[in-house]
Amino acid sequence: MSNEETMPSPATSSEEGSYAQWVRGALATARAHQGNAVSLFESSVPEPRELLRNTVLDAVEPNFSRYYVSAFGDGNPFVRDMLAERYAVDRDQVLCTTGATGGLSLIYRAFLKPGDHVLIETPGFDLFGYLAEASGATIDRFHRSGTRFSIDVAEVEARLRPNTRLVVLSDLHNPSGMAVPQDVLRALAGLAERRGFLLVVDEVYGDYAAAERRPGAAAALSPAVISLSSLTKIYGLGVLRCGWIVGAPQVIETLRRLNGRIEFGISTLSHAIAAHVMTNAAVFGQHSRSYVERCRPRFQAWFEEMVAEGLMGGELPDDGCICFPSLPGIADSRTFSEWLIARSGVIVAPGEYFGAPGHVRIGFCQEDDKLEAGLRGLEEGLRAYAREFQPIGSA
């Protein structure tokens, strides 16, 4: 066995840090690998560079377009108008933010004080918890369970406390890509109204879902529900840092007042470009659909083979570009992921960073050659890992 294939020691939770820290280290390791690294941890379609280039030119040449206006305060007014039309709400129910992460941070800062209780899904995106802790809140978790990562409304209710201020989840779910059924969302919205908390739904992957499975934003269900989204995941446009919050007028007014005191970073240029993107949403949407339509059948065939052979477990979500399979026989998926990077340069996201050791998140919307190389390297790694590190005496 070569040195780079030596089994590393499992890290303690204090050593793991955040997912973002792990990604930076993983990329550094992968770059040192001979050959091209393949990033199967990416959770959106690839950036539409030619479309973006042309859109930037439209926004600034020969002169700045009419969309180039100050985004200070509530955000670019053209973006807000287009979002209000899309969500069928008044403009005052939309607040633009510096990405969805900036929006979530604003929600926490506006509605939490030290000692308040926040209930967060698990598995889930680690920033949900880190940002709540930074606000001084006490965190508890409710489980998304089974191969569909379902939510038990009764469990959520049982975990509520008198000082629960927020319940936070994602739809489509990060990391699994699974949708929350509409009847479950309605039940959670009703629970929020009865028990006096706000239900925050991160919908950054939501537009991948078919309309029959996700007919609209969660904020439409109740004044106690806040929808949060951005251009990052659906269009691969994280570079624009254009996010937004949609909610009831009194909720958005609370957020707007705080935002006016603390937010100075929304980019006028980025959000002007975002306005052009939204004007041409059909073109950018086709870019996303083309990747899903091309990559999904290839990944599904491969995934079903891996499940049939016992190398993976779980289900492929109905929509989107991510999957969160279990790895039978591999309890420490962080160790496996780091071993895989050193072995082949293929990066998958360890389940430990989402609260589910023994799983990995795979992003399968890639250029054809990268997807083929990534799946081949991952499959070879799973087979080699099973041979080299199978416990003595197991069959």
In terms of phi and psi (left: phi > 0; alpha: psi -120 to 50; beta: otherwise), the region of 264 is: alpha
Residue 112 lies in a domain: yes
At 16 the pLDDT is 58
| pLDDT tens per residue across span 225-239 | 999 999 999 999 999
Q: Is residue 54 part of a domain?
A: no
Q: Where is the domain boundary, 265, 282, 299?
A: 282
| Same domain membership, residue 245 and residue 194 | yes
- One domain for residues 207 and 78: yes
Mean pLDDT value of segment 26-50: 85
Tell whether 73 and 15 lie within a shared domain.
no
**What pLDDT sits at residue 215?**
87
At residue 368 the predicted structure's pLDDT band, cuts being 50, 70 and 90, is very high
Regarding whether 212 and 116 lie in a shared domain, the answer is yes
Q: What is the 3-state secondary structure (H, E, C) of the chain?
A: CCHHHCCCCCCCHHHHCCHHHHHHHHHHHHHCCCCCCEECCCCCCCCCHHHHHHHHHHHHCCCCCCCCCCCCCCCCHHHHHHHHHHHCCCHHHEEEEEHHHHHHHHHHHHHCCCCCEEEEEECCCHHHHHHHHHCCCEEEEEEEECCCCEECHHHHHHHCCCCEEEEEEECCCCCCCCCCCHHHHHHHHHHHHHHCCEEEEECCCHHHCCCCCCCCCHHHHCCCEEEEEECHHHHCCHHHCEEEEECCHHHHHHHHHHHHHHCCCCCHHHHHHHHHHHHCHHHHHHHHHHHHHHHHHHHHHHHHHHHHCCCCECCCCCCCCEECCECCCCCCHHHHHHHHHHHHCEECEEHHHHCCCCEEEEECCCCHHHHHHHHHHHHHHHHHHHHHCCCCCCC
pLDDT of residue 13 exceeding 70 = no
Is position 33 within any domain?
Answer: yes
Task: Answer yes or no: do 72 and 111 share one domain.
Answer: yes
Domain termination site, one of 282, 315, 331:
282
Same domain, 249 and 273: yes
Whether residue 210 sits in one domain with residue 346: no
pTM: 0.93
- CATH code at position 374: 3.90.1150.10
Overall size of the chain counted in residues? 395
The percent of residues above 70 in pLDDT, for the chain, comes to 93
Q: In the numeric block, which tokens belong to residue 95? A: 């607040």
Domain carrying residue 312: 3-48+284-388
If asked whether residues 97 and 234 sit together in one domain, one would say yes
Which tens digit of pLDDT belongs to each residue from 232-265?
A: 999 999 999 999 999 999 999 999 999 988 887 7
Last residue of a domain, one of 259, 282, 305: 282
Q: How far apart are the first and last CA of the chain?
A: 21
Looking up residue 107, the CATH number of its domain turns out to be 3.40.640.10
Higher-confidence position of 214 and 389: 214
Are both 296 and 360 inside the same structural domain?
A: yes
Find the range with the poorest average confidence among 11-25, 115-129, 172-186, 372-386. 11-25
The structural domain count of the chain equals: 2
Tell me whether residue 27 is in a domain.
yes
What the block records as the tokens of 72 is 């200070």
Q: What is the average pLDDT across 329-354? A: 95
Same domain, 277 and 288: no
| Tens of pLDDT, residues 354-366 | 999 999 999 999 9
> Per the domain annotation, does 276 fall within a domain?
yes
Q: pLDDT at position 394, please?
A: 46
- Are 15 and 96 within one domain? no
The answer on 230 and 195 residing in a single domain is yes
> Quick check: is 57 in a domain?
no
Is residue 250 assigned to a domain? yes
Q: Would you tell me the crossing angle of helices 249-262 and 99-111 to the nearest 10 degrees?
A: 100
| pLDDT for residue 97 | 95
Q: Is 131 within the bounds of a domain?
A: yes
Please give the Cα distance from 206 to 320 (Å, whole number).
Answer: 8
- Give me the residues paired with residue 151 across strands: 144
